[in-house]
Amino acid sequence: MYLALLALAAAAFGIGTTEFVIMGLLPEVAKDFGVSTPAAGMLISGYAIGVTIGAPILAIVTAKWPRKQALVGLMGLFIVGNALCALAPGYYALMAARVITAFCHAAFFGIGSVVAADLVPQNKRAQAVALMFTGLTVANIVGVPFGTALGHALGWRSPFWAVVGIGVLAATALTVWLPQVPTPKGDGILGEFRKILHTQTQLALLTSTLASVSMFSVVTYIAYILLDVTGFTAAQESWVLLLFGAGITVGGLLGGRLADWKLMRGMAITFFMLAVILAIFSWACHYKVPTLVVVFLWGMFSFAVVPAAQVRVIDKAQGAPNLAPTLNQGAFNLGNASGAWLGGAMIGAGYPLSNLPWLGAGVALIAMAVVVFSGMLDRKPVPAMAH
C-alpha cells in the first residue's frame, strides 16, 4: 500500500515540477524565441487552460479504462508532452507541448486521488490523498528550485529532460507497485454530468475554487510584498518562499488527518484559521520575524484544505467517480486564475500590497460559510419516498 502511494506521490512530484519550473526560466525562453515577457508568461496561462480543458476530455476518454492502466497511460502522455517541450523549435510549438502536458494533470490527480482513497481503510482516506498530494508540495520545495538552477546552468530545455526522466521512473513505479484497482461503476457519462449538477457536488467544487482564490489572490504577489513591504532582499525572499513550501507540505499531511477526524468540521476550522492568519499577515508583513511565522502558518492552513476538498467531492458525487474528482482539479485551477486576477484588480485600483491579505481572508470566510451551509444540508432529513 505504501509503495503504491509512493508511486502516486512520485508522479505528482513530476507533474508539479513541470507546471511551475518554467516560471523561473521565462526570461531565457523569451530571449531564445524572441518574444515579449507577457507572451512568455502566457506559457503559464496556457498550461492552466490545458488543465481546465483537459479535465472533462480525459475523464471521458479514460472512464472505462482500468485505473492502473489509465494512470500509467496518463504518465505516458506526460512523458511525451515534456519531451516535446524540450524539443520545441519555436514559441507556438512550446505552447502546444505545454497544453498537451497539462491534459494529463487534472485526470491524473482526479483518478489518482480515488485510487489512493481506495487503497486504505475508510477512516484513512483523506490521509492517503494527502500523501499523494505531498508529491505536489515537495515539487515546489525541491523540484522547482533545482529545476530552475539546472535551467540556468544548462539551458531552459534541460529541466524538461530531467522531468522526462522523473516521468519514466514514476511510470515504472506505478507499473510495479500499484495493484489492479477495479474500474469504478459510474452512471455513464451523461449520468455523471447530471450528478455533477447536484447542489452538494456544486458546493464541494465551489469550496475548492474558493480555497484557491483565497491563496492565489495573495501568493501571486508575494514576491512584491516580501521585497517592497517587508524589506527582504531577493536572496532572502527565496528562503521565505521555501518556508512557505514547508508549511504547505506539513499542512497537506495534517489536513488529511483533520479531514479523517471530522471532514466538514475540519474544513470549517481550517478556513476560519486561514482567515485569521491572513488578517494578521496584513499587519505582520511590515515586520520580518512575524512574517516568517505567519508565512509558514499561512502555507500550512492553505494546503490543509486540499485533501479534504478532494475527498468531499468524491463523497458527494458517488455516481460520477470519473468526472467529479477530475473536474475538482479544474476547479482548483479556476481558483488560481481568478485569485490572481482579483489580486491584480485590487492593486490596479490603488490599494496597497498590505491589503491583499484582507482579500484572501474575506474569501476564506466565504468558503467557511459555504462549508457550514453544505454541512447543514447534510443534516437535513430526506423526505420518505411515497409508495
pLDDT digits (tens, 9 = 90+) for 139-160: 877 777 788 788 878 888 999 9
Structure confidence by residue, pLDDT tens digits, 88-139: 999 999 999 998 898 888 788 878 877 887 888 877 777 787 788 788 778 8
Q: Which three cell numbers stand for residue 18?
A: 513541470
Are 138 and 220 found together in one domain?
A: no
Q: Which of 124, 155, 184 corresponds to the end of one domain?
A: 184
Are 152 and 292 found together in one domain?
A: no
- Burial class, 183, CB count within 10 angstroms (exposed 0-12 / middle 13-18 / buried 19+): middle
Are 234 and 270 found together in one domain?
A: yes
Residue 384's pLDDT band (cuts 50, 70, 90): very low
Domain, as residue range, for 227: 187-379
Most distant CA pair in the chain, distance: 73
Are 87 and 210 found together in one domain?
A: no
Provide the CA 36 distance to its chain's centre, in angstroms: 28
pLDDT of residue 361: 96
Q: Which of 103-107, 236-240, 366-370, 374-378 has the lowest mean pLDDT?
A: 236-240
User: Cα(75)–Cα(287) distance, rounded to whole angstroms?
Assistant: 44
- Check which CATH number belongs to the domain holding 86 and give it: 1.20.1250.20
DSSP string, 5-25: HHHHHHHHHHHHHHHHGGGGG
Are 141 and 193 found together in one domain?
A: no
3-state SS class at 335: helix
Q: Which of 133, 149, 184 corresponds to the end of one domain?
A: 184
Can you list the positions of beta strands (E) in 186-247? none
Distances (CA, A) of 359 to 210, 239, 278, 353, 385: 12, 25, 9, 11, 45
What proportion of the chain, given as a percentage, has pLDDT over 90? 30
Number of domains into which the chain is organized: 2
pLDDT of residue 186: 57
Backbone φ and ψ of 36, nearest 5°: -75, 165
Are 53 and 122 found together in one domain?
A: yes
Collect all residues with Cβ–Cβ distance below 8 Å to 241 and sequence separation of at least 6. Answer: 222, 223, 226
- Asked if 170 contacts 10 with a C-beta cutoff of 8 angstroms, the reply is yes
Are 65 and 191 found together in one domain?
A: no
Are 179 and 193 found together in one domain?
A: no
Amino acid at 257: R
Q: Is residue 76 part of a domain?
A: yes
Radius of gyration in angstroms for the set of CA atoms belonging to the chain, rounded to a whole number: 20
Are 339 and 200 found together in one domain?
A: yes
Residue 385's pLDDT band (cuts 50, 70, 90): very low
Are 21 and 116 found together in one domain?
A: yes
Helix 91-118 to helix 37-61 angle (10° resolution) is 40
pTM of the model: 0.76
Q: Is residue 386 part of a domain?
A: no
